[in-house]
Amino acid sequence: MVWTKTAWACFNVPQALRDLLCELSATKRAYNDCTMGSFRNTTIMNVTWHPDGSYFLRTQNNQVAWVFFTTTMQNAWNKMWSEAGSQQITDLAYVAIDPHALVSKTFALIKKQQQHADAPFVLHFANELVYFRLFTSDRQLQIKKTMPSGNFRWAVSKFSGRPHQDIWELELKKGEKVKVWREEGQGWYLVEHKKGMGYCHCAWLELVFRREGYPRVAWNRFTHCIGHMMLSAPIKEFPSIPVGKCAVGCGSGLCVHNLEVVLRGSGKYSVEFLKKERLMWHPDRFAQFCLPEFAELLCAEAAQVFKLYGVLLEQEMGKAGGA
């Protein structure tokens, strides 16, 4: 997308954004898949988009239009306007969406800085925490939190203090026992001790996985996640599969080791069980749960899960003598 004064040209942007640019223009034409035009007495102040169809456009005369295809970004936008004070679009400074991310979950929403105050903003990177500062009188960086529910795991702190001295990190003492409620992505966990709740990196924690009943609890969470996905179909976001940190050390996220722990919690772990459960993640079948415009991206992620099942299946068949 390029523009100068009233003239503009675009290529390979979302169709809805292209149509809007044409609607705002006095003249327009297409040439070799490139669309060009000239605005009616205005120009672009801020434009950003993602291949999944999300976009934001603001003109010099404060005509604003947007479509956000992920719940994460839509909720962040709503929260910024409901809690950041002024409701005037003229107080908006900038909107950015990362067009190279898998989906439009990496973004920044920034309002103008007021005198003697920090600018309100919401910032999110895919698979990480949502960072926000919505009250101009509050100079502290806040983290989006929801009250945890369900089961937790115990962990022991390896060190004292905070990894980076950020206020949203929970200050711990070496050897202190804490509750780990859930994984937040990129190795970060929501944890709790006697003084309250906060975040801690997995490098600072020794997770206790051998808690009685943990595999069964993990399996119940897993099946609940899959059931919710099926009831919500067609989906436009890949389900967040609830797994614990890999005990072998693969890092955060889903790997063959923590998937095996979860599946063994079913009490039915076998070659036949793995074959049956793997079918859910075959790209051709998974596509039926997806909105057509998101199917390609989501099925690519499902294919990775399908491959992990395949590794476990080969291992189990080897133990059974190749049966």
Same domain, residue pair 169 and 227: no
Q: Which residue has the tokens 């923590």?
A: 258
Domain membership flag for residue 221: yes
Same domain, residue pair 22 and 43: yes
In the prediction, which pLDDT does 4 show? 93
Domain membership flag for residue 184: yes
Total tally of structural domains belonging to the chain = 3
Same domain, residue pair 220 and 202: no
Specify whether the CB–CB gap between 195 and 181 falls below 8 A.
Answer: no
In the prediction, which pLDDT does 106 show? 92
| CA–CA dist 162, 318 (Å, integer) | 45
Say if residue 79 is exposed, middle or buried (CB neighbours under 10 Å; 0-12, 13-18, 19+).
middle
In the prediction, which pLDDT does 139 show? 42
Same domain, residue pair 69 and 130: yes
Same domain, residue pair 203 and 249: no
Specify whether the CB–CB gap between 51 and 38 falls below 8 A.
Answer: no
Question: pTM for the full model?
Answer: 0.46
Cα dist. 160→170, 192, 200 in Å?
A: 10, 15, 12
Cα dist. 12→29, 51, 53 in Å?
A: 15, 8, 11
- Domain containing residue 253: 214-319
Same domain, residue pair 6 and 103: yes
pLDDT truncated to tens, each residue of the chain (323 aa)? 999 999 999 999 999 999 999 999 999 999 888 999 999 889 999 999 998 889 999 999 888 999 998 888 888 888 888 765 556 788 889 999 999 887 888 999 998 887 666 788 899 987 677 887 776 444 444 555 445 555 677 788 888 888 776 667 788 998 888 888 877 666 778 888 888 888 888 788 877 644 434 567 778 888 888 888 888 889 998 888 877 666 555 666 788 888 888 888 888 889 999 999 999 999 999 999 999 999 999 999 999 999 999 999 988 888 765 54
Specify whether the CB–CB gap between 152 and 208 falls below 8 A.
Answer: no
Same domain, residue pair 181 and 262: no
Same domain, residue pair 16 and 73: yes
Domain membership flag for residue 148: no
Same domain, residue pair 129 and 180: no
| CA–CA dist 200, 181 (Å, integer) | 11
In the prediction, which pLDDT does 279 show? 92
Domain membership flag for residue 290: yes
